[in-house]
Structure 1
Amino acid sequence: MQNKREQWSSKLGFILSSAGAAIGLGAIWKFPYVAGMNGGAAFFLVFLAFTVLIGLPMLISEFIIGRGAKQEAISAYKKLAPDSLWDNIGKLGVIGCFLLLSFYCVVGGWVLIYSLLSIVGQVIHAGANYPELFGKVTSSPSITLFGLALYLLINIIVITFGIKNGIERASKYMMPLLFLFFIVLVARSLTLDGAMAGVEFFLKPDFTSVTGDGILYALGQSFFALAVGFSCMVTYSSYLDKSVSIPASATSVVVMNIFVSLLAGLAIFPAVFALGLEPTEGPGLLFIVLPTVFSQIPFGEFFLCLFLLLFLFATLTSSFSLLEIIVSAFTEGGKRSRKGVSWVAGAAVFLAGIPAALSMGPLSDLLIFEKTIFDATDYLVSNILLPLGNLLIAVFISFKMNKALIKQEFMLANSYPPQLFAVWRFLMRWVVPLTIAIVYLHSLGVI
């Protein structure tokens, strides 16, 4: 069946689709509010260091595993390490993606609802009541469940079309437009009175504000933002042609992700300070700041609507990758229909997402370790399961996978000196696992 597997139609299609998988809620929605709650500039620099030194080597690793095996996550580990327990990494990825989707699609539903409301002009005309509007949307069971269901429906439809006709075609148009509108938003945000206080908060670090939890959040955010740790990129790269350079593609994805995170910070924090808002607002930060900024721009209603639609597209390209790893795990070998599995998986995610969807409404008093169901699921996925998945992948590729195959995949289609492979190998064998372990222990107060 391997010869019948789909492939990306081009290197650009793969890079944009991988960037789309990485650049979504992690970079645009989550990064600003997590950075705002953990010191701004200091958090950004720690996140940047983790992304370059840990996230990039991990992304290269997942690409190597996926293309080396030419199979989806669970089957890839089975093929590369037969008669072992290493395929549990792939199973962890499928479970992790399922849990991640259970709250990710809730936020995706918020974005979808805001997009629909903006089309009929009910967002920007809320005036000073943007926090009240956000509270109304997120606390209403009917609104949140409708948003969750409709958002998942879009995901299911795209995934049923497969790689070329679904994910790749959507990403080629969505990602460039998103970059363009983010730059416009940054330009306006920086020209607001008092904006420089936000720039200073985001770009002038105060390392006294860094805590153990903040470092753990920065590590988790670097993994969340690059979609590594749950083997999503193993599945994506399993469709990758041998003529594409893995290190170059991974670097392109990381650079785009960092750039979008930078743009998100420069769009949000100057506006936050200029408008007298608090950077520690939390998950609602983006939904409150964006309408406020666009309300002060000529034709702001039109541009807000367009930006929210692009933001929705970016959110979708990420959730496509999460649903794809689940669907591909159950359709590998052609025994099950992609369409049928997509619908079953989507329905299961909807049911699992109901508690998170209601956690800011009827279930707001139901707390797990002093966190709502939504926040607890986010913490479990981002700060426990993602680092664990990355740690296991690092150990697998460093000590279990065939070194000759690793080097072959790394060096294909590029003219890099062999020393670059040695540097990446050293990072994966020692720096990545030790850093994850140290951050874990530090967050637990052990060191």
Structure 2
Amino acid sequence: MTTVICPYCFERSQAARLPYRCLMSRTGLRGGTPCDPERDDLWAGFTGGTAAPSAYMRGPVFPAPRTMPWSRGGGRAECPRCGVASPVRVCAGCHSDLPSDYCSQDSRIIALIGAKASGKSTYVSVLVNELRHRVGQSYGASLAAMGDETQRRDREMAEDLYERLRLPGTTRPAATGFNDPLLYRLSLPRQGRDGSRHTALVFFDAAGEDLKSAEALNRYTQYLSAADGIVLLVDPLQMGAVRDALPGDGGPPMPSRETPALQIASDVATQLRSHGKGGSRGRVDTPLAVAVTKTDTLRGLLDPHSPLLRNTPHAGGRFDEVDRLAVHEETRSLLEGWDSGALWRQLERDYSTVSLFGLSALGSPPPSDAPADAPPSGPQPVRVEDPLLWLLGRRGLIPVAKPPREGTGGTAA
């Protein structure tokens, strides 16, 4: 039986047992009176209950019938009060409405973490665009936003970044309100078979302010423990050696000092081990992709032939492991020079499966006189897709071209 993970509270439920929400429609087949809205205390409590009282007046929730409605009614069930068939499923744990097609496919939760100003919101905006265009073309994939809220935010992200050339704002801290995840349906051709395979991708962005201590991070532990993979974004401009090596005049503006990536990675591992995600040797078994961002600012520090300066061609619609290993080793060498390898040693001890990446979401820094703007030419990303494709490849969702022998140094299998 299909198991569904709520993308909001991350509670696991059997799809057949998910409740429904009444539509309160006036087209009842029984000719009865439509249902009145009721206060949904469970949903209000989950979202914080800070909105106007009217916001929590919603259609009544009723249990799923014992039969399997999707086998003969397209996933609809009749409200026992008014008789109107509803397709709206809700999570039993938090009463959040689930997109109509979310419960009918596998889901992959991708946790996105990183200190404030590491570029998480910009990264997601650019990644979605690349999956729809350049990368999607290589893999024969399509990406569609699921649910009204994600569709609205998806349109706003695209308009702001690609039409208005405005960078996304910072992620709202959990203390100031509830952050909805972004839900997408990724469709890929079935390997060696006709038809497509659909997977729900859930992107949950934790605000940098919520990663400053293990205590603050605790509120995200449930979502982190449910994740199929974690992407940790590392801002190289937070490292003293990089700041010292870059030119002071005419160079990129330096962000204020934030929580070190080493501390974030260590605190996340501690939280996950406390929720049973540690293996026999105490290392977390959730795959971790560590991506050094803003590589466009590092051009003067890189060899002209560095793999970090170019996109991989994704030849034949396959993820190239040889290329990944080259990027991993190049990034590991850079980290050893920047912080004597302290971050990499911490990662090796805390995680059983980890790979290093380097990427640039914009391709060049924002204008010095308008740091909230994208470059005038628009985003020209480099390797933003690599961390996600690596995680998808490990789950067998995309084909992988593997090298004759796997590399060394703690890289992923």
Pair in the same fold by TM > 0.5: no
The structure with the greater share of residues assigned to helix is 1
Larger radius of gyration: 2
TM-score, normalization by structure 1 = 0.25
- Higher RCO (CA-CA < 8 Å; seq separation 6+): 1
The structure with the greater share of residues assigned to strand is 2
